[in-house]
């Protein structure tokens, strides 16, 4: 198959390049915040970049990286000989803006560059955003190199930091693994995953809108169903109870509760959908939108942050509290010309995207290497 040939060629080329470079240039030692995150490991080419392990916070259970110790001046001073630069991604909510200013001052004193990828202009883990925005400003203004994932997010960062960031697309997080194609079913299935109902999830508002939209579509003889997924353990039990009551009142909407899904289980769940509804009340970008793109599942969401700019051709807009807009979005996203789970068309589209994304993945890693090179060159020149 053409896709197999492309992947084989990419692997051969990448392996040959790694052999040559790895024997001549030592890898850049990056203290990433955090290191053990799928996005962070995806953008770091192991042939050229060495990610330091996340320092364990005192008293934290195994595997917990927050609060990130790399951002503490004392850690930076004690481990300065072990890293070449710091790259911040997530976790800045653990510290106040003035504490992050101390982090920046320490890095400058040590002569270590700071790279900052602005994933979250609004923090999905928080309700109030004022302190978070102040923290973003501290890092964005001080970083030696700035990265964003979309052109529209770059415009917002430019207004904050008065400088232009490098735009590098969000890569696939599925690597070279096979993608699930979904299982065929009789009804058009629209799914929304509320996870643990963290602060940026508008579970009640989204489900109330979905219930009314499904009822309206079914009244017009549409063969459609809504599936609402929630973790067993959620942060807001009252909201979870309200969501269950909303679904009970609508024929065609059901609620699933279960343990937190691992990556493979989540991909399988998403692949069975005709469209995925995103329930965000605030945010910036979405890894879920990227996973849906990999699986050729159209996304329906509000105009929150810059999610619509990630894959505009797959994004359909609705408004919370406006079931008519959601019904229109469902019809648009599940147009018969598009692919359905388990179909040959879905399989072909997933395979086409897989090949494209592997090529993009290599380019994303190369772009990060170039950012690191510039940051280190600027530090040497200074």
Give CA–CA dist 142/11, Å, rounded: 37
- Residue 179 counted as domain residue: no
Residue 191 near residue 229, CB atoms below 8 Å: yes
- Residue 90 counted as domain residue: yes
Domain that holds residue 234: 188-341
- Domain tally, the chain: 2
- Residue 40 counted as domain residue: yes
pLDDT at position 337 is 82
Task: Look at the block and give the residue holding tokens 């067993």.
Answer: 232
Asked if residue 205 and residue 244 are part of one domain, the reply reads yes
- Residue 276 counted as domain residue: yes
Asked if residue 157 and residue 210 are part of one domain, the reply reads no
**pTM score of the predicted model:** 0.92
Asked if residue 279 and residue 371 are part of one domain, the reply reads no
- Residue 67 counted as domain residue: yes
Asked if residue 361 and residue 297 are part of one domain, the reply reads no
pLDDT at position 25 is 86
Asked if residue 170 and residue 28 are part of one domain, the reply reads yes
- Residue 151 counted as domain residue: yes
Asked if residue 199 and residue 111 are part of one domain, the reply reads no
Q: For each successive 10 residues of the chain (382 residues), what is the average pLDDT?
A: 48 54 80 97 98 97 96 98 98 98 98 98 96 98 98 98 97 96 96 98 98 97 98 98 95 97 97 98 97 98 97 97 98 91 97 98 98 90 64
Asked if residue 163 and residue 51 are part of one domain, the reply reads yes
Stated as kind and residue range, the H or E segment containing 292 is helix 287-294
Residue 65 near residue 36, CB atoms below 8 Å: yes
Distances (CA, A) of 41 to 16, 69, 70, 125, 351: 21, 18, 17, 22, 23
Asked if residue 165 and residue 218 are part of one domain, the reply reads no
What is the token pair recorded at 167? 């735009």
SS3 67: coil
- Residue 210 counted as domain residue: yes
> How many angstroms from the chain centroid is the CA of residue 172?
10
Distances (CA, A) of 120 to 133, 282, 288: 9, 10, 14
Give CA–CA dist 189/174, Å, rounded: 23
pLDDT at position 8 is 53
Residue 147 near residue 115, CB atoms below 8 Å: yes
Asked if residue 242 and residue 149 are part of one domain, the reply reads no
Q: Give φ, ψ of 165 to 5 degrees.
A: -80, 165
Asked if residue 248 and residue 170 are part of one domain, the reply reads no
Return the exposure string of 268-278: e unless at least 16 CB atoms fall within 10 Å of the residue's CB, then b.
Answer: ebbbbbbbbbb
Asked if residue 307 and residue 267 are part of one domain, the reply reads yes
- CATH number, residue 227: 3.40.50.2000
């Amino acid at each position: 198959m053409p896709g197999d040939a492309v992947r084989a060629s990419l692997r051969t080329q990448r392996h040959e390049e790694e052999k040559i470079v790895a024997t001549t240039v030592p890898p850049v030692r990056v203290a990433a915040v955090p290191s053990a995150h799928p996005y962070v490991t995806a953008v770091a080419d192991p042939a050229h970049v060495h990610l330091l392990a996340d320092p364990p916070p005192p008293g934290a259970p195994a595997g917990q990286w927050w609060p990130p110790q790399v951002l503490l001046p004392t850690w930076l001073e004690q481990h300065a000989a072990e890293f070449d630069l710091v790259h911040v991604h997530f976790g800045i909510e653990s510290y106040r803006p003035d504490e992050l200013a101390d982090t920046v001052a320490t890095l400058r004193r040590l002569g270590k560059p700071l790279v900052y990828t602005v994933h979250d202009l609004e923090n999905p883990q928080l309700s109030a955003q004022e302190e978070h925005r102040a923290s973003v400003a501290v890092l964005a203004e001080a970083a030696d190199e700035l990265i964003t994932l979309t052109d529209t997010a770059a415009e917002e960062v430019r207004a904050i930091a008065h400088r232009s960031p490098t735009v590098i697309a969000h890569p696939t997080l599925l690597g070279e693994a096979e993608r699930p194609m979904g299982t065929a079913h009789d009804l058009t299935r629209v799914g929304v995953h509320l996870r643990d109902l963290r602060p940026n999830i508008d579970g009640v508002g989204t489900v109330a809108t979905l219930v009314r939209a499904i009822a309206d579509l079914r009244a017009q003889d549409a063969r459609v169903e809504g599936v609402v997924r929630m973790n067993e353990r959620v942060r807001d039990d009252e909201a979870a109870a309200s969501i269950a009551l909303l679904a009970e009142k609508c024929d065609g909407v059901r609620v699933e509760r279960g343990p937190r899904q691992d990556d493979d289980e989540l991909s399988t769940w998403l692949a069975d959908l005709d469209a995925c509804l995103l329930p965000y009340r605030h945010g910036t970008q979405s890894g879920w939108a990227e996973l849906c793109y990999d699986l050729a599942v159209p996304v329906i969401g509000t105009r929150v942050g810059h999610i619509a700019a990630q894959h505009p051709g797959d994004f359909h807009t609705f408004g919370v509290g406006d079931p008519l807009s959601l019904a229109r979005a469902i019809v648009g996203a599940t147009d018969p010309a598009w692919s359905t789970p388990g179909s040959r068309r879905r399989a072909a589209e997933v395979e086409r995207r897989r090949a494209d994304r592997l090529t993009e993945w290599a380019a994303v890693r190369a772009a990060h290497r170039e950012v690191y090179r510039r940051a280190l060159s600027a530090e040497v020149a200074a």
